[in-house]
A and B are shown apart, each in its own frame.
Chain A
Amino acid sequence: MTVTCSEHPASLQGRPAMRRKVADAAALAAGYVALAMIAVPTIWVVAGVLQRAVPGWSWGVLTHTGAAGAGGLENEILGSLVLTAGTLVLAGGVGVLAGIYLAEYATGPAGAVLRGASEVLAGIPSIVLGYVGYLALVVALHWSFSLAAGLVTLAVMTVPYVMKSTEVALRQVPSAYREGAEALGFSPLQALRRISLRTALPGIVTGILVALAISVGETAPLLYTAGFTSANPSAALVHRPIAFLTYAIWTFYNQPSKSAVQLSFDAALILLVIVLLLIVVGRVIVSLSERHAETR
């Protein structure tokens, strides 16, 4: 078979075809639109919260407990922080270990089952998980509304994100690193700990951050499992309800008193700050761990 090429023009002079110019402009425009679709709502939300929270802001909300739209938000803040820290330990631990298992050890059906299960889990609406948590933990196990019930529910919800990001990050570790470690006589565990996990850390941290951001901003499952209280969190894992910020946002906003609405916006502002801090901490960890990375 003969292949014929169209002849190239004799001269280098000439304008790019109109079609290419249009396509170029369209792609650029689409990029800007996409950027705007991310940036505008973000700025809108932050500005809206600031605008409503700041004028009536009082530092007292940080140091006073309260309920039903009066007093402060100390109980909610501490409750959310405890829940977030607990998720970090529980979902972070389980998720990272499961991710390591999937990336390094799982071969055949076991891995496929775990992967499939986690995808299904990630797809279950959080309110359904909350209700299941309510039936299983609060009622069947007699934990009542409690820190443990809330934590376990949040952890179940967020483990898939941590697991997936850990697995993906570990799979992206260049095989040259592993081979180098192996050839140097590292044990498999040493290679994993000193080379693979270190290299994968940015990806793992990002996954944990997403999990934490979800858990700190989640309302539905906690309504079913954590309950609410005007008291600060205690050491009790079960039988004692625990407050959280999104409850305040959700409930106080619908109350008639002006102070309750103000508290609701204060809670939203504090939540934004917490999420922002999480992101900053994550960025710092990522950039520290990447200072010797190949792709920088």
Chain B
Amino acid sequence: MRRTALEPDPSDLATSRGHESSYPVLEASSLRLQFGSTTVLSDLTVAIPRGQITALIGPTGSGKSTLLRTLNRMNDRVKGFSHDGDVLLEGESIFGRNVNLMLLRRRIGMLFQRPNPFPMSIGDNVVAGVRAHRIAPRKQHRAIVEARLKEVGLWDSVSGRLADSPFRLSGGQQQLLCLARALAVGPDMLLLDEPTSSLDPGSVETVEALLRKLVPALTLVVVTHNLAQARRIAEQTMFLFGGRLVEFGPTAQLFESPNEPETMRYVTGRIG
């Protein structure tokens, strides 16, 4: 798999470490996130395992989305946002002074709660990122469009109308298109912010099945309010509550025999 250092300097830790599956792809250490003087999340030290799906659960306001959006630095331009501590991608700080945000986001893609295709044709949507990063010459775009749409299972239904507006597609199809667009730039990791909460049950199933197919090639972090979804798709689950990480472990264990009383109360529906 392609690895591009975030910084031009090749002497970063990542190269000396190798990329065996035993090493986490992303690590947060003593991370504290705040908006103005309000601390959203504090003292977070966690390692996201490679090639698995990690679910982020917790009640509204527990900092799940804020954490997720910190991992590809989408909070940078949010007014009042500040952080302490560090996040390492393959051992390299994502907050480093010379980090190229474009490269960071090419390696860590994102899917949003509501599908957000761009106002351009379906085909152009798929290669929007490919164009922005100049990944492939124009004459290969068509092939990329086909490959990515096939990958997400949209090809058969849209192959005849690649020049059409994406807004005529159903919500589920739009989300798949956004996934194809994110995959087209060849990320190592995808951050998904409640990716199915605005979709109908049939589409939820399609998207979930697709996400399962993306691992272990990719590492996924999924914020979800749907506990059943976390149990269905995630190997690891992280429970955030009251501005801190309460528990992180294999999904089955966290749901069936959690170590912390709060986790127990949350997964059994007594708080939340």
CB under 8 Å from chain B, chain A span 172-193 = 174, 176-177, 179-187, 190
A183 to chain B, nearest CB (A): 4
The interface residues of chain B lying within 8 Å CB-to-CB of A184 are 105-106, 109-110, 128-129, 132, 181-182, 185
Complex alpha-carbon distance, A177 and B181, angstroms: 13
Complex alpha-carbon distance, A294 and B119, angstroms: 6
Complex alpha-carbon distance, A190 and B164, angstroms: 22
Complex alpha-carbon distance, A292 and B165, angstroms: 4
B145 to chain A, nearest CB (A): 15
Q: Are B102 and A185 in contact (CB under 8 A)?
A: yes
B122 to chain A, nearest CB (A): 9
Q: Are A183 and B74 in contact (CB under 8 A)?
A: yes
Binds B, one of A37-45, A194-202, A204-212: A194-202
Interface flag for A293 (CB, 8 Å): yes
Complex alpha-carbon distance, A281 and B30, angstroms: 59
The interface residues of chain A lying within 8 Å CB-to-CB of B165 are 291-293, 296
A26 to chain B, nearest CB (A): 38
Interface string of B92-118 (1 = CB under 8 A from A): 000000000111111001101010111
What's the tally of chain B residues with a CB closer than 8 Å to chain A? 31
Q: Are B128 and A293 in contact (CB under 8 A)?
A: no
Complex alpha-carbon distance, A184 and B103, angstroms: 10
The interface residues of chain B lying within 8 Å CB-to-CB of A182 are 74, 105
Q: Are B118 and A195 in contact (CB under 8 A)?
A: yes
Q: Are B109 and A183 in contact (CB under 8 A)?
A: yes
CB under 8 Å from chain B, chain A span 272-296 = 291-294, 296
The interface residues of chain A lying within 8 Å CB-to-CB of B102 are 185-187
Interface flag for B120 (CB, 8 Å): yes
Given contacts A293-B167, A296-B167, contact A185 B119 (CB under 8 A): no
Complex alpha-carbon distance, A282 and B215, angstroms: 49
The interface residues of chain B lying within 8 Å CB-to-CB of A174 are 116
Q: Are A199 and B132 in contact (CB under 8 A)?
A: no
Complex alpha-carbon distance, A198 and B119, angstroms: 8
Q: Are A199 and B119 in contact (CB under 8 A)?
A: yes
Interface flag for B121 (CB, 8 Å): yes
Q: Are B167 and A179 in contact (CB under 8 A)?
A: no
Interface string of B128-147 (1 = CB under 8 A from A): 11011100000000000000
Interface of chain A, main secondary structure: helix
Closest to B178 in A: A180
Q: Are B120 and A198 in contact (CB under 8 A)?
A: yes
The interface residues of chain B lying within 8 Å CB-to-CB of A199 are 119
The interface residues of chain B lying within 8 Å CB-to-CB of A198 are 119-120
B22 to chain A, nearest CB (A): 28
Given contacts A179-B74, A292-B167, contact A185 B120 (CB under 8 A): no
Complex alpha-carbon distance, A190 and B132, angstroms: 7
Interface flag for B63 (CB, 8 Å): no
The interface residues of chain A lying within 8 Å CB-to-CB of B131 are 194
Q: Are A177 and B132 in contact (CB under 8 A)?
A: no
The interface residues of chain B lying within 8 Å CB-to-CB of A176 are 112, 114, 116
Q: Are B166 and A292 in contact (CB under 8 A)?
A: yes
Closest to A187 in B: B102
The interface residues of chain B lying within 8 Å CB-to-CB of A194 are 118, 128, 131-132
Complex alpha-carbon distance, A101 and B6, angstroms: 30
Complex alpha-carbon distance, A185 and B181, angstroms: 12
Query: Which of B110, B114, B120, B121 contacts A183 (CB under 8 A)?
Result: B110
The interface residues of chain A lying within 8 Å CB-to-CB of B173 are none
Interface flag for B72 (CB, 8 Å): yes
- Which residue, B106, B112, B119, B120, has most C-beta atoms of chain A within 10 A? B119
- Which residue, B103, B109, B132, B167, has most C-beta atoms of chain A within 10 A? B132
The interface residues of chain A lying within 8 Å CB-to-CB of B178 are 180
Closest to B114 in A: A176
24 sample A-B contacts, Cβ–Cβ < 8 Å, listed by A number: A176-B112, A176-B114, A176-B116, A179-B74, A180-B112, A182-B105, A183-B74, A183-B109, A183-B112, A184-B106, A184-B109, A184-B110, A184-B181, A184-B185, A185-B105, A185-B132, A185-B133, A190-B132, A194-B118, A194-B128, A198-B119, A291-B165, A292-B165, A293-B165
For the complex of A and B, list the 9 residue pairs with the smallest distance between their C-beta atoms, beginning with the closest.
Answer: A185-B105, A183-B110, A176-B116, A184-B129, A292-B165, A185-B106, A180-B116, A185-B102, A186-B132
* B interface residues, Cβ below 8 angstroms from A: 72, 74, 101-106, 109-110, 112, 114, 116-121, 128-129, 131-133, 164-167, 178, 181-182, 185
* A interface residues, Cβ below 8 angstroms from B: 174, 176-177, 179-187, 190, 194-195, 198-199, 291-294, 296
A180-B116, A180-B117, A293-B165 are known; give 7 further A-B pairs, CB within 8 A.
A183-B109, A184-B132, A184-B185, A185-B106, A187-B102, A190-B132, A292-B166
